[in-house]
């Protein structure tokens, strides 16, 4: 009888990719994958450590797994356990600890457990890891797009971030391995691919070439694979956006005009305390360059509000910058103090109530910016990759995404899942959806 294993993933798209790769590894080893919470012989929690809140959620899910399946082997994997180290074994809810760069050994580690039931920690010295961990997907749980992890680690050391300590230094995946994975997923019917990593802009720096050149070459190789209709890029650092880089991307038809440029603050003083390596003016120049190269590109970003020392004046400068750039989407995060980072010890920690109030101001502004961007596509032609049916405004629609990543709703009796269709924007619904028609 097959052993049953349940997974729960926390955190970013890289974590999600790795969780799927671990599931595939165990499926190929003869395990049956069941929903988290169902009776299982093994429970794997793939943890996150980006904030103290993420640490807390990781611990909660580990304890929930033990409570739901008291006789199961409980595996804690990923960033939180990498940061906590072997002292995680003091938590009797955990049987096996698997750090980053050891996840590909999950099946073998479980074989060892079932042989001798010995609680163990499998942790690499991540600060000296020089090899990319080779995890591969042959299919994914996503509806129509596949996330492809091409890079791990980060060398930036932003003052608020623990990731360089839990993920290690930059490590790039070999292009031939990426191509092989994409080719396999194309055979499964996937048409859209999102290149992702912990610090995607650094792809290739450990391969002996300039990162922009390596990343461009990888994108070109992927675009030549028959069946690849769309390529999206994960979060990019502003520094990688140069005129030659933007023009080269524009010459690759599969690349979507949708760019996520990490910002974090629109105030230079705050950026300096964060150890971000650009000014607000330099960032704005990158946005102008992309808008010069592409017609109406979707520009999205992340912003941390309430960073230590953020005065009312600094917050106002950030808000004014967001008004000026007018992003399509902005993900607003309240600063969360993270033990082990320089920012955690900085003076001027902002009260939670102030962070909440500032976050609400930016959320409202960003909602207006999103609606204004979507409205610009009313009456315009859009190429949409449809996913599934949804109910919005009391009606059933096909839901899909344009090349700009606008969420488009369209009514049809046809089966449109994983099909690309050209439609025309008609009206804005609920402040974020674009209802479309055939003309």
Domain limits of the chain?
4-124, 127-256, 381-437
Q: Which residues of the chain have pLDDT under 50?
A: none
Strands 433-437 and 407-410: parallel
Task: Answer yes or no: CATH 3.40.190.10 is held by domain 127-256.
Answer: no
* Contact status, residue 39 vs residue 3, Cβ threshold 8 Å: no
Strands 145-152 and 433-437: unpaired
Whole-angstrom distance, CA of residue 308 vs CA of residue 329? 24
Q: What is the pLDDT of residue 210?
A: 63
Q: What is the pLDDT of residue 126?
A: 83
Q: What is the pLDDT of residue 164?
A: 94
407-425 burial code (b ≥16 CB/10 A, e <16) = bbbbeeeeebebbbbebbb
Whole-angstrom distance, CA of residue 418 vs CA of residue 431? 25
* CATH numeric code, 4-124: 3.40.50.12160
Give 79's strand partners. none
Give 381's strand partners. 424
* Contact status, residue 113 vs residue 95, Cβ threshold 8 Å: yes
Q: Render pLDDT for 307-334 as a digit per residue (tens, 0 to 9).
A: 999 999 999 999 999 999 999 999 999 9
Whole-angstrom distance, CA of residue 365 vs CA of residue 213? 36
* Contact status, residue 378 vs residue 425, Cβ threshold 8 Å: yes
- Burial of residue 11 (number of CB atoms within 10 Å: 0-12, 13-18, 19+): buried
Per-residue CA distances from 116 to 87, 105, 113 (Å): 21, 17, 6
pTM: 0.94
Give 148's strand partners. 195
Of 244, 249, 248, the C-alpha closest to 403 is: 249
Per-residue CA distances from 156 to 20, 29, 58, 78, 239 (Å): 27, 38, 25, 20, 12
Q: What is the pLDDT of residue 146?
A: 96
* Contact status, residue 27 vs residue 137, Cβ threshold 8 Å: no
Strands 298-305 and 145-152: unpaired
* Contact status, residue 411 vs residue 398, Cβ threshold 8 Å: yes
Q: What is the pLDDT of residue 163?
A: 93
């Amino acid at each position: 009888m097959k052993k049953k294993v349940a997974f729960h993933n926390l955190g970013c798209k890289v974590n999600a990719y790795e969780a799927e790769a671990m599931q595939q590894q165990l499926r190929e080893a003869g395990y049956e994958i069941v929903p988290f919470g169902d009776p299982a012989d093994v429970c794997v929690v793939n943890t996150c450590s980006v904030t103290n809140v993420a640490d807390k959620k990781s611990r909660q899910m580990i304890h929930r797994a033990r409570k739901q399946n008291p006789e199961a082997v409980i595996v804690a994997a990923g960033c939180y356990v990498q940061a906590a180290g072997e002292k995680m074994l003091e938590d009797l809810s955990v049987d096996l600890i698997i750090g980053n760069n050891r996840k590909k050994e999950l099946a073998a580690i479980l074989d060892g457990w079932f042989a001798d039931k010995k609680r163990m920690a499998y942790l690499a010295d991540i600060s000296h890891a020089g090899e990319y961990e080779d995890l591969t997907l042959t299919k994914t749980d996503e509806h129509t797009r596949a996330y492809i992890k091409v890079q791990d680690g980060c060398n930036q050391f932003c003052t608020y971030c623990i990731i360089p300590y839990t993920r290690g230094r930059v490590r790039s995946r070999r292009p031939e391995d990426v191509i092989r994975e994409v080719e396999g997923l194309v055979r499964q019917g996937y048409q859209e691919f999102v290149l992702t990593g912990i610090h995607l802009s650094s792809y290739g720096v450990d391969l002996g070439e300039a990162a922009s050149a390596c990343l461009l070459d990888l994108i070109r190789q992927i675009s030549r694979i028959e069946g690849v209709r769309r390529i999206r890029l994960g979060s990019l650092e502003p520094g990688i956006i140069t005129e030659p880089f933007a023009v080269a991307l524009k010459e690759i038809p599969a690349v979507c005009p949708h760019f996520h440029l990490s910002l974090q603050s629109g105030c230079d003083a705050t950026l300096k305390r964060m150890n971000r390596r650009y000014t607000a003016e330099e960032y704005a120049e990158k946005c102008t360059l992309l808008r010069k190269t592409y017609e109406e590109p979707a520009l999205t970003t992340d912003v941390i509000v309430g960073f230590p020392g953020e005065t009312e004046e600094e917050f106002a400068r950030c808000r004014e910058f967001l008004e000026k750039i007018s992003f399509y989407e902005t993900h607003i995060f309240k600063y969360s103090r993270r033990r082990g980072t320089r920012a955690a010890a900085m003076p001027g920690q902002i009260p939670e109530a102030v962070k909440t109030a500032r976050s609400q101001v930016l959320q409202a502004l960003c909602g207006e910016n999103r609606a204004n961007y979507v409205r610009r596509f009313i009456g315009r032609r859009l190429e949409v990759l449809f996913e599934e049916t949804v109910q919005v405004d009391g009606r059933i629609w096909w839901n899909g995404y344009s090349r700009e990543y606008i969420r488009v709703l369209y009514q049809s009796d046809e089966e449109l899942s994983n099909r690309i269709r050209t439609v025309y924007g008609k009206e804005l619904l609920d402040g974020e959806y674009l209802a479309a028609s055939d003309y």
